[in-house]
Amino acid sequence: MADYRFEHFNDRADAALYIDGSLQFDTRDEHIYHEALFLPPAALAATRARSSITGLILGGGDGLGLREVLKIAKTNRVDLVDYDHQIVDLARKELSVYNRAALDDCRAHIHIAEASQFLKTHKKSFDYIVADFTYPESLAGCELFTRKFFGFVARRLKRRGIAAFNACSPTRSPQAYWSIFQTISRAGLYPKPLQVSIDSFAALGYGEWGFFLASPCPIKSAELNKIVLPPDCRYLSRQTLLEAMRLESGPLIHGLNFRRTIDKAEDLRALLNTAGIFTSLSGSTVDFSLDAAPEGIGRYFPYPAEYLFFSLSAYWKERIFGIIESWDWDAFAAAVEKNLAGHLSETADGVRALLKKAGRCWENKNFSGDTFRRAFAALLVVIIITNMLCPDNAFAKGYYGSGHYSGDGDTEIALIAAVPSTAFVSKYWLSSAGVPDMAGKYHDKLSFPVGDKSVPAFFALDDNTYLTENGEIFTAVPRTHFFYKVETDHLVLYEWRRPLPVSEFALDGEIVDGLKKNLEVHRKTLAASVEKMKRWLNWSGSANFLVKEIADEKKELAKMEILLNILDQLARNTYIVNYSAPPEEFSVKIAPSLRITREGKVIMRALGGIWIDCGLDDFSDEVLKSVLNDLKPQDPMYDLIVNRLKRR
């Protein structure tokens, strides 16, 4: 039988409760303890729930925590479980003035029972559970901080439920505190630590006091920043809650280095017996209210913070939940079935069984740790085997590998040459092979000498047409030492060996139409690929610190977005066309706005649209030969060009 001592002081205005000689609360500051432990889980649960909520309090027979959760408007029912009828009787009598007669509230249901047994036998799930046990002085008390007990709590929480646990001092017993943190994690919950200062505890040498918030799914920074607390709180506010999640680095680092999973009561007992006061490192703190790895932790360890805080995998797990819950399972199953047709029946039957098992998990909203891992593994096997049987599938990323065409394989007219309408391929710019194009082909690393600078090619629209990172368009004229720069109202002809313009030409409709079609097919295809890549990285991005390929794909996406921005800007350009028919009855096109006449003259369409002799005789030999290859002997220009070449 526990020894209870209830002492009054300050002319009975204040009081303190001791159990077996240990302070349980002092009425002068008990509101700090009970607001910090009880209000965050109840308030977060109310935010997550669409309707009324139910809660469970384990321990806390004094009714002070019950008083706090009953302030939450959505509270429909709270079950309080305490094995000691003495403290419950005390709560109904002497303590009723402090707990505001909370035990007599119609929403409160009191059970005299042992917490573990209640959790094992009670089948109802709760929106929040608060464990308010006394400091574990005995092995029996330490049993309530083992992985087995935290597992009982996890099974009685709803999927988006919140748990809160009274723990120990993170400054006086950091090994024990961070071992409790790890143990909660190993039980399938994702904890966030809190630390508060309670004067009455500190006066007795208890140190700063620690709690944990936890949930089967992550407690996100956005939730904490929007939490709605009762208006009559004396201590807790949104700001003080966030401050409570900034823990001193000294005890934290010490505790993490010596943490262990508490599987037996003896484990915690040994950790508590190694207590000592640890001071902060230069006053630095670590912020656990953030979603990512705690800021500043990495510099104290030779490995990533993600390895220390395995609970961070929860954020990756949540992304998987979000994606898979939105799936059309019937459509996915039909797609798998279509691809299994014609393959070995044993293999097909095995894949169907795995798919059924995975689908059943998500349809039934069964998200417990082991069930999730088995279902997700089954789903991965389905995707992997289906893709092995039918390599052209893209169940994983949603974009295609090199050489696979989208649509029916039709071609679009380019500026100079036809370009197949293919999907973009990943990892273009991570290779040093050359300048990439849409189909995954690499072209020579060209730099265009313009004025006093040399502009490198960024992307190839086709074999001869290139974009720079500044959105400029250049076209190399095949089999010559000339190239064009395409402006919105004219073409500028350059020579590779000279940075100054040779001449300027007018645009014509053929050039503009081809250019617009080429840019548009690239823009649409790239926009779709960027969207698919973003969806893939939104799901897989959490693994970038482990998987180099994912980190590379993030860099690739950045380059794809640069290119998409270039194409979007070019799509808004207005091109000015000046058209006039060539003056010669017989002439042959040798390049955009350049033709050769039957006299062998090279003529160009000038800026005003008029055709003039440009006098580029050194242009002609290789060009004439290439033009001749495109003509038939019966063509009127064929003999003229042959004779022209002979005279040279």
Q: Where are the alpha helices (DSSP H) in 364-502?
A: 369-389
pLDDT at 212: 97
Q: Which two tokens stand for residue 135?
A: 């400091």
pLDDT tens digits for range 363-401: 555 555 556 666 667 777 767 766 665 554 443 333 333
**What are the CA-CA distances from residue 410 to residues 420, 511, 524 (Å)?**
7, 20, 15
**What are the CA-CA distances from residue 291 to residues 294, 352, 537, 640 (Å)?**
8, 37, 17, 76
Using an 8 Å Cβ cutoff, are 448 and 460 in contact?
no
Instruction: Tell me which of 92 and 356 has the higher pLDDT.
Output: 92
Q: What is the mean pLDDT of residues 405-416?
A: 32
Q: Compute CA 50 distance to the chain's CA centroid, rounded to the nearest angstrom.
A: 26
pLDDT at 419: 32
pLDDT at 551: 74
Residues forming beta bridges with residue 420, ordered by sequence position: 411
pLDDT at 492: 85
In the predicted structure, residue 95 carries a pLDDT above the cut 50? yes
How far, in Å, CA of 4 to CA of 22, rounded?
A: 10
Instruction: Tell me which of 55 and 462 has the higher pLDDT.
Output: 55
Q: Where are the domains of the chain?
A: 26-314, 327-389, 411-571, 587-647
Q: What is the mean pLDDT of residues 582-592?
A: 59
Using an 8 Å Cβ cutoff, are 449 and 496 in contact?
yes
Using an 8 Å Cβ cutoff, are 59 and 186 in contact?
no
Q: What is the mean pLDDT of residues 78-97?
A: 94
Residue 572 φ then ψ, to 5°: -85, -5
pLDDT tens digits for range 274-318: 755 555 445 678 889 987 655 455 555 444 444 455 444 555 566
Averaging pLDDT over each range in 245-249, 428-432, 477-481, 499-503, which range is the top one? 245-249
- Among the options 26, 62, 82, 132, which is catalytic? 132
Q: What is the mean pLDDT of residues 414-425?
A: 36
Calculated CA dihedral for residues 36, 39, 45, 47, nearest 10 degrees: -110
Q: Is 26 a catalytic residue?
A: no
The residue among 332, 385, 552, 189 whose CA lies nearest residue 180 is 189
| pLDDT band at 240; cut points 50, 70, 90 | very high
pLDDT at 256: 78
**How deeply is 470 buried, as exposed, middle or buried, from its count of CB atoms within 10 A (0-12, 13-18, 19+)?**
exposed
Instruction: Tell me which of 172 and 535 has the higher pLDDT.
Output: 172
The residue among 607, 553, 618 whose CA lies nearest residue 578 is 607
Q: Quickly tell me which residue has 């029912």 as its tokens.
A: 77
Q: What is the DSSP string of 481-496?
A: SEEEEE-SSEEEEEET
Instruction: Tell me which of 172 and 361 has the higher pLDDT.
Output: 172
Instruction: Tell me which of 559 and 126 has the higher pLDDT.
Output: 126
238-242, 277-281, 491-495: the lowest-pLDDT one: 277-281
> Which helix (H) or strand (E) covers residue 231, if one does?
none
Instruction: Tell me which of 10 and 424 has the higher pLDDT.
Output: 10
The SS3 assignment for 21 reads coil
Residue 506 φ then ψ, to 5°: -80, 150
In the predicted structure, residue 223 carries a pLDDT above the cut 80? yes
Instruction: Tell me which of 490 and 84 has the higher pLDDT.
Output: 84
Q: Which two tokens stand for residue 30?
A: 């008990």
In the predicted structure, residue 232 carries a pLDDT above the cut 60? yes
Residue 533 makes CB contacts below 8 A (sequence gap 6+) with 397, 399, 426, 553, 556, 557, 560
In the predicted structure, residue 548 carries a pLDDT above the cut 60? yes
Q: Strands 126-132, 157-166: parallel, antiparallel or unpaired by DSSP?
A: parallel
pLDDT at 409: 36
pLDDT tens digits for range 613-639: 555 554 445 555 665 565 667 665 566
**Average per-residue pLDDT in the chain?**
77
- The CB density around residue 295, as the number of other CB atoms within 10 Å, is 13
Using an 8 Å Cβ cutoff, are 70 and 78 in contact?
yes
For residue 134, what is the DSSP state? P
How far, in Å, CA of 32 to CA of 376, rounded?
A: 42
CATH number of 26-314: 3.40.50.150
